[in-house]
A = this chain, B = another copy of it.
Amino acid sequence: MKNPMTLPRRHMLAGSAAALSALGLAGWTGVARAQAAAAPKPLPGYAGWKSANALIVHSGSTLETRRAAFGTSVITPSGQLYVRNNLPAPDAAILENRDAWSVAIEGVKSPRTLTLAELKTLGLETVATVLQCSGNGRGFFPSKPSGTPWTVGAAGCVVWSGVPLRAVVAALGGLADGMAYVTGTGGEKLPEGVDPLSVLVERSVPLKAMDDAILAWEMNGEPLPLAHGGPLRLVVPGYQGVNNIKYVKRVAFTPAQSQARIMQHGYRMSPPGTKASPDQPSVWEMTVKSWINGPLPEQGPLKAGVAQVHGVAFGGTHPVKGVEVSVDGGKTWQAAQLVGPDLGRFAWRQFVLPVRLGAGTHVLASRATDTAGNVQAEQREENVGGYNNTSWSDHAVTVTVA
């Protein structure tokens, strides 16, 4: 097991201070941007076991996978997976007795607090999902929204293992009447002296998400690391990363959405010029998206001849139907081939298209379609927070052949 190291005390204090000051200064997304402006940073202690060469350290709570590091093996290894924490990670001591971790289940006929050991008796499911920060692609917004300027690397394809949430609900007598949301609450330590609702990591997703959700204690074949929410995480397949609650302490079926700021005002698709408000759409289900991971300029000089253009494509809650590739910036398109194992509708697919590239400059783009008929859009949907950028144009890459 790669046991995450204990967070050095100095780092922890710095992280808390930044989180606190952010509340007054720049809101939820200001911390990362401020920290990213500084020089390259080492991996933070709780993620010190990760592959430094594969990651861009934006800040102690925001690590991005390098585009060239994605490879073509479908799975994103844990050492290369991005990290985005809304609050500093809890102390690694919470992993010392994983089976003793407890989670309160509310909004069911027989509400109860269950330990991880008890959850393990209720069922077992394994699911591969794309885990993606809703701000992935924010770096392509010309409006430079506040928040980490991720390009493509705040995403990965991960195998989770745990108990189906519906099995937990069944074991506790079924849902109480009138519930419309699944509300998960994170177990982070809250900074003192502020309104808890202003910092609490608590998100609600529509009740239908329960059918696919799991309470996961394992990721990619290893006990869930602290950096990714261990010992227990609420995994909501097909939904943007923020809805996958780390260190989950409470899962409540509720008639209304959480009153936490991260739900009411954070992560809303606010049209340009507006302020975030609860009547705007929340970042829930992901939508169809793809991007190219090779060839890339940073992978070295390209020779004239055949290149295997490859990348990843996913459809949120819908499977990918197909991917097209363009080598002329979107003027013409050719169908790419889906390669490698199909890990199910929440996973991404690898695609590849061999193309002949002559001397000169080529703009490579990819465009995915899902089985519901949704086609990846050319343009991003402008919004204040820089969320959900699925623009194929923004994700195009320019390569030069000598």
Which residue among A123, A219, A305 has the maximum number of chain B CB atoms within 10 Å of its CB?
A123
Hey, what's the 0/1 contact readout for A185-207 against B, CB within 8 Å counting as 1?
00000000000000000000000
How far is it, in angstroms, between the C-alpha of A71 and the C-alpha of B128 when the chains are bound? 15
A352 at interface, CB cutoff 8 A: yes
Q: Is A126 a contact partner of B161 (Cβ separation < 8 A)?
A: no
A222 at interface, CB cutoff 8 A: yes
A39 at interface, CB cutoff 8 A: no
Contact of A72 among B72, B74, B78, B126 (CB under 8 A): B126
Hey, what's the 0/1 contact readout for A328-352 against B, CB within 8 Å counting as 1?
0000000000011111100100101
Contact of A340 among B75, B121, B125 (CB under 8 A): B125
Q: Is B77 a contact partner of A350 (Cβ separation < 8 A)?
A: no
User: Which of A247-255, A284-292, A306-314 is the contact stretch?
Assistant: A306-314
Q: Is B76 a contact partner of A221 (Cβ separation < 8 A)?
A: yes
Number of residues on chain A facing chain B (CB within 8 A): 53
A 1-58 contacts with B by CB, 8 A:
1-3, 51, 53-54
How far is it, in angstroms, between the C-alpha of A69 and the C-alpha of B222 when the chains are bound? 8
Contact of A339 among B75, B76, B124, B343 (CB under 8 A): B124
Which residue of chain B has its CB nearest to the CB of A70?
B221
A 78-95 contacts with B by CB, 8 A:
78-80
Give the chain B neighbours of A70 by CB distance below 8 A: 221
How far is it, in angstroms, between the C-alpha of A75 and the C-alpha of B127 when the chains are bound? 12
How far is it, in angstroms, between the C-alpha of A222 and the C-alpha of B354 when the chains are bound? 22
Counting from the closest, the 6 A-B pairs by CB-CB distance are A126-B340, A73-B221, A341-B343, A72-B161, A73-B159, A77-B221
A257 at interface, CB cutoff 8 A: no
